[in-house]
Amino acid sequence: MKIKKSRSHIVALTAALNQVQNLEGFKICYAVAKSANMLQPVIKDVQTAELQLKDYREARNKVIQKSNDGEAKDADKLQKELSAVDEKHKKVIDAFEEFMAEEIEVEVHEVAEENVPENITIDQMRAVEPLIKPEE
């Protein structure tokens, strides 16, 4: 079954699926495992895109570390330095945010509603809900 979601949502869905590995029942477990595997190419793309933020993160961490070391005790000065780092890396940040917000179509393994365990928590249901075959 195909679903259309933002890359941010796909990352969250993958994390949620990894949290519900203790569900019981072959069909639901198969759908969770198969879907998590099917989403891995998106996760790899996101990880690759995150590499573009390396310089930005290092620059921010350097400013924060200076502050933690006592070099910048003034909160306003710290905020100005962080804002300057943000501004310097604005193009990369904006490109990454746009990339993560882009909706893409991905394939997941669907499962029939009757194969979802009765004793499921609300958090578990939220995780598997995108995999449940829509009623016709």
Q: Residues 33, 19, 106, 97: is their CA dihedral positive or negative?
A: negative
29 lies in some domain:
yes
Average pLDDT for 92-111: 97
> What is the number of domains present in the chain?
1
Question: Token digits for 66?
Answer: 């200076």
Q: Quick: pLDDT tens for 37-51.
A: 999 999 999 999 999
6 falls within a domain: yes
- The tokens describing 14, both together, are 């993958």
Flag whether 136 is in a domain. Answer: no
* Domain extent at residue 42: 2-131
- Geometric angle at alpha carbon 40, from 103 and 111, rounded to 5°: 80
pLDDT for 74 equals: 76
pTM (two decimals): 0.85
The residue among 57, 85, 90, 89 whose CA lies nearest residue 72 is 85
- For the chain, what percent of residues have pLDDT higher than 70? 97
